[in-house]
Amino acid sequence: MNAKRQERDLLAGVRVVDFTQFEAGTSCTEVLAWLGAEVVKIENPRTGDPGRRLPRGRAPGEPWPDPYYFHMFNANKKSVTLDLKTPRGLELAKELLQKADVTAENLAPGTIERLGLGYDVVQSLNPGIIYCQIKGFGEGSPYEKGLAFDMIAQACGGPISVTGEPGRPPAKPGPSFGDTGTGMLMASTILAALLQRRLTGKGCRLQLAMQDAMLHYMRTCFATQARTGKPAPRRGAKSVAGNNVPSGLYPCKPGGSNDYVYITTSRANPEHWRRLLKLIGREELLGDPRYDSHEARLGHEKEVDAIVSDWTRRHTKEEAMRLVSGVGVPAGAVFDTMELMNDESFETRGILQVMQHPETGPFKMPSWPVRIDGAPPSLKPSPMLGEHNAEVLRDWLQLPASAIDALHDDGVM
Amino acid sequence: MNAKRQERDLLAGVRVVDFTQFEAGTSCTEVLAWLGAEVVKIENPRTGDPGRRLPRGRAPGEPWPDPYYFHMFNANKKSVTLDLKTPRGLELAKELLQKADVTAENLAPGTIERLGLGYDVVQSLNPGIIYCQIKGFGEGSPYEKGLAFDMIAQACGGPISVTGEPGRPPAKPGPSFGDTGTGMLMASTILAALLQRRLTGKGCRLQLAMQDAMLHYMRTCFATQARTGKPAPRRGAKSVAGNNVPSGLYPCKPGGSNDYVYITTSRANPEHWRRLLKLIGREELLGDPRYDSHEARLGHEKEVDAIVSDWTRRHTKEEAMRLVSGVGVPAGAVFDTMELMNDESFETRGILQVMQHPETGPFKMPSWPVRIDGAPPSLKPSPMLGEHNAEVLRDWLQLPASAIDALHDDGVM
């Protein structure tokens, strides 16, 4: 690791005791890990984070290594196994919490308290700790005991109501915005709390519900409702606000299921429409009153879309993107996961990096996409279950190797 | 403001010079503002942030106050107007940057450099500054000069390819995940960089592309591709991974466009299916080999969905959610923006708060949804254009009122 790399470990020295599982919690603590914190997953010695047990795509009977899903949300972390239902396991967890700056969990409602690691207990052990909880629904909500996964958050928090085609049933946004979208809000708040703690020495309790987090991403939809007086609608490929024409997905050759280009013209810049007309060879429409203002085009959306589609159908999505973008009009091809994975630019720029995992082998995946002084942080493998038992108990608690062996023999680890 | 409130200003004392516009940038600096930083928008004296000029929903000819869209992304900030194309305006911006901890911009590619405020200039003025740039595409990408809005990021970064119904054109996820989803990644990184700076005194340069940010939210889709060897598909209301049955949207009475409940059963917990069968009165199917394992149900998805729908159609979405969730199975009604806005629980818990804006009047909107020691930060109004000219130039630069009057007279502010 060279000096430049080390500078990117912005959170070097920050210790996190991590009880998170699946994605809403793990995506949050993984941000801290990517940015250089020492994040220690505390896992059940038998099964670990249930995210390790999701389908891996192997034939039945073959060994079941950790799935890609697990690697995605646990890169750069460490793993310590502790049976929290044993007195010694619980005691060790408490000793680790006394050494930690941050702890986080997204277990089912009531679980962390039943384990004996609720906020009051941990705060009394370590008044400086940032104690973080992610749940499906907020404390005091009528649904506060309800379980949630990504899709439940996207249903109850609004995203599903505004996704899909008009007049048809709603669709779920494909990405796991309900999970990772929640984790990101908690990550920022943890870091702000750490900044305050460096001044005051005091910790705090942070709580976030996945349903509540979704409202944060729905703000343009709430603005549309405030403007129109009606619930924000589903508009297929078009934006919920519906202010701009042309704006939408336009079909490209050769007509495959993702052969579309998104083109949008901004109301804030009337030049977009004129540039587009020139590019597509329809200068005769410059100044045509049917199309010359945003208001006029709003009343002729179908005709405008047909004018644009006539041109896009003669180009591939990549050509259309390059040409439209080249004249200063916002445009983007619809890329699928395979096209993205095969685009070398992402690997060259460090946005996709290769995880060298002892069981999975080399595996290319998204890293933290923010460049810090020119490059994103380096990707390290997700931990094997219990991989860091000896290292963490030695470094944090000064336990000798013999004591760690005994813990394994006793089934505590 | 009581003592408890003040403790929630985690970033008190942090100063931000904010050149952001629209949403990808403003959503980022707004996080800092909500968490207590002093965020000063630098705006063009004539039009301000173009986000102020989006449609407000008034009749033509009426005054055009800031739209709801603007309030959403600029709460708790201050506004200073400076004409950066005048020598004195540029000089004042540089003086403010010398006093700042963070600066951020998401102007079109090349704009900030043409204004004379590129990274090298600002870093030499203030070596401790965290200098942040958000663009549509990454430096070194073939599209690096391209403009982007939310929908362009969602097209080029993958989300649109996995959203919509199988066999139909793709749809855009309705929420502005492309914008706010980007802003959230930059916000965390800024705060981590501030933590490092408190130790080293050194600033850094942070760069994030909206296309790259979308890959971060696409990780479950990339995991699906890695497992199946095919691009992640569109699956309508179902999850892209397609591992769990039953899982999806089920129709409820009275059959309106958002009368659906999302029900999902986790492969990690085989009890979910058994609990559901008992609840819906289909105990006779317990142990039926067609349905008794996840693998078996995957082969009978249509029949399973019909069994669940037969029951959900007899309930409203709220009833279905309450009953299914009540037996420990993840469930969530599809709520639209109006239902969410009218649900009192959000206001009681501080997740929705009322902005008291001098022109718009009281306006209920989402606040930062993380509870800090029990409550989210307090919402303050978005600034009027130039509202804080005198205050900021006095507090940061010790300029007297007479100097500020002269700047107004000269058209610099």
Residue-wise pLDDT for B298-313, tens only, equals: 999 999 999 999 999 9
Domains and CATH numbers, chain A: 3-217+345-409 (3.40.50.10540), 247-251+260-333 (3.30.1540.10)
Place of tokens 């990808």: B24
Is it the case that residue A57 has pLDDT exceeding 80? no
Q: Closest chain A residue to B168 measured between Cα atoms?
A: A257
Provide, as residue numbers in chain A, all residues whose Cβ is less than 8 Å from the Cβ of B120.
none
Query: Contact B67/B48 with Cβ under 8 angstroms?
Result: no
Is it the case that residue A59 has pLDDT exceeding 70? no
Is it the case that residue A63 has pLDDT exceeding 70? no
d(CA A102, CA A111): 19
pLDDT confidence band for B63 (50 / 70 / 90) = low
Provide, as residue numbers in chain A, all residues whose Cβ is less than 8 Å from the Cβ of B241.
69
| A330 closest CB neighbour out of B148, B189, B225 | B148
Query: Contact A258/A334 with Cβ under 8 angstroms?
Result: yes
Is it the case that residue B228 has pLDDT exceeding 80? yes
Is it the case that residue B242 has pLDDT exceeding 90? no
pLDDT of residue A60: 52
CA angle, B217 then B221 then B225, to 5°: 145
Q: Dihedral through CA B177, CA B178, CA B182, CA B184, nearest 10?
A: -10
Query: What residues form DSSP beta bridges with A249?
Result: A262
Contact A169 B214 (CB under 8 A): no
- Left if phi > 0, otherwise alpha if psi is -120 to 50, otherwise beta: which for B61? left
Is A296 part of the contact surface with chain B (CB cutoff 8 Å)?
A: no
- Take residue A244 and report the two structure tokens written for it: 């701009």
Percent of chain B exceeding pLDDT 90 equals 91
What is the average pLDDT score of chain B? 94
Is it the case that residue B330 has pLDDT exceeding 60? yes
Q: Which residues of A187-210 are buried (b: 16+ CB within 10 A; e: fewer)?
A: bbbbbbbbbbbeeeeebbbbbbbb
What are the distances in angstroms from CA B334 to CA A132, B327, B337, B340? Answer: 27, 19, 10, 10
Is A218 part of the contact surface with chain B (CB cutoff 8 Å)?
A: yes
d(CA B56, CA B339): 22
Is it the case that residue B7 has pLDDT exceeding 80? no
Mean pLDDT throughout B180-205? 97
The answer to whether the complex's ipTM is over 0.90 is: yes
Query: Contact B260/B250 with Cβ under 8 angstroms?
Result: yes
Mean pLDDT throughout B2-8? 55
Is it the case that residue A4 has pLDDT exceeding 70? no
Residue A372, φ and ψ in degrees, nearest 5: -110, 115
Residue B131, φ and ψ in degrees, nearest 5: -105, 115
pLDDT of residue B54: 79
Q: Closest chain B residue to A188 measured between Cα atoms?
A: B188
- Left if phi > 0, otherwise alpha if psi is -120 to 50, otherwise beta: which for A403? alpha
Residues contacting residue B17 through CB under 8 Å, at least 6 positions apart: B40, B42, B93, B96, B97, B100, B102, B103
Please report the DSSP string for B306-375 in residue order: HHHHHHHTTS-HHHHHHHHHHTT--EEE---HHHHHH-HHHHHTTSEEEEEETTTEEEEEE----EETTB
Mean pLDDT throughout A313-338? 97
Query: Contact B375/B351 with Cβ under 8 angstroms?
Result: no
Query: What residues form DSSP beta bridges with B205?
Result: B131
Query: What residues form DSSP beta bridges with B104?
Result: B18, B132
Write out the catalytic residue numbers of A: 179
pLDDT of residue B1: 38
Query: Contact B153/B211 with Cβ under 8 angstroms?
Result: yes
pLDDT confidence band for B64 (50 / 70 / 90) = low
Each residue's pLDDT tens digit, A217-262: 999 999 999 999 999 999 999 999 888 999 999 999 999 999 999 9
- For residue B201, the surrounding DSSP H or E stretch is none
Three-state SS across chain A?
CCHHHHHCCCCCCCEEEEECCCCCCHHHHHHHHHCCCEEEEEECCCCCCHHHHCCCCCCCCCCCCCCHHHHHHHCCCEEEECCCCCHHHHHHHHHHHHCCCEEEECCCCCHHHHCCCCHHHHHHHCCCCEEEEEECCCCCCCCCCCCCCHHHHHHHCCHHHHCCCCCCCCCCCCCCHHHHHHHHHHHHHHHHHHHHHHHHCCCEEEEEEHHHHHHHHCHHHHHHHHHHCCCCCCCCCCCCCCCCCCEEEEECCCCCCCCEEEEECCCCCCHHHHHHHHHCCCHHHCCCCCCCCHHHHHCCHHHHHHHHHHHHCCCCHHHHHHHHHHCCCCEEECCCHHHHHHCHHHHHCCCEEEEEECCCEEEEEECCCCEECCECCCCCCCCCCCCCHHHHHHHHHCCCHHHHHHHHHCCCC
Is it the case that residue B15 has pLDDT exceeding 80? yes
d(CA A353, CA B312): 44
Is it the case that residue B42 has pLDDT exceeding 60? yes
Mean pLDDT throughout A73-95? 97
pLDDT confidence band for B57 (50 / 70 / 90) = low
CA A256 to chain CA centroid, Å, is: 28
Each residue's pLDDT tens digit, A371-385: 999 999 999 999 999
Q: Is B378 exposed, middle or buried (0-12, 13-18, 19+ CB in 10 A)?
A: middle
The answer, yes or no, to whether the previous bond of B246 is cis (omega within 30 of 0) is yes
pLDDT confidence band for A294 (50 / 70 / 90) = confident
CA distance B143 to chain A (A): 8
Provide, as residue numbers in chain A, all residues whose Cβ is less than 8 Å from the Cβ of B67.
223, 227
Place of tokens 């090349």: B110
Q: Closest chain A residue to B36 measured between Cα atoms?
A: A192
Q: Which stretches of B169-316 are DSSP H helices?
A: 177-200, 210-217, 219-228, 271-279, 294-298, 301-312
Each residue's pLDDT tens digit, B365-385: 999 999 999 999 999 999 999
Is it the case that residue B226 has pLDDT exceeding 50? yes
- For residue B409, the surrounding DSSP H or E stretch is helix B401-409
Provide, as residue numbers in chain B, all residues whose Cβ is less than 8 Å from the Cβ of A55.
227, 243, 267
Is B155 part of the contact surface with chain A (CB cutoff 8 Å)?
A: yes
Mutation target to probe the A interface, by most A beta carbons within 10 A, among B47, B160, B368 is B160
pLDDT of residue A6: 58
Residue B112, φ and ψ in degrees, nearest 5: -65, -35
Percent of chain B exceeding pLDDT 70 equals 96
d(CA B20, CA B41): 7
CA distance A404 to chain B (A): 30
pLDDT of residue A61: 55
- Take residue B224 and report the two structure tokens written for it: 């699906």
Mean pLDDT throughout B61-82? 89
Look at A49-63, A199-213, A381-395, B271-285 and tell me which has the smallest mean pLDDT.
A49-63
CA angle, A190 then A196 then A201, to 5°: 105
pLDDT of residue A3: 45
What is the average pLDDT score of chain A? 94
How many CB atoms neighbour CB A60 within 10 A?
6
Is A346 part of the contact surface with chain B (CB cutoff 8 Å)?
A: yes
pLDDT of residue B382: 98
Look at A52-61, A119-128, A144-153, A398-407 and tell me which has the smallest mean pLDDT.
A52-61
Q: Which stretches of B35-84 are DSSP H helices?
A: 68-74
Query: Contact B345/A142 with Cβ under 8 angstroms?
Result: yes
Which amino acid makes up residue A360?
T
- For residue B6, the surrounding DSSP H or E stretch is helix B3-7
pLDDT of residue A1: 38
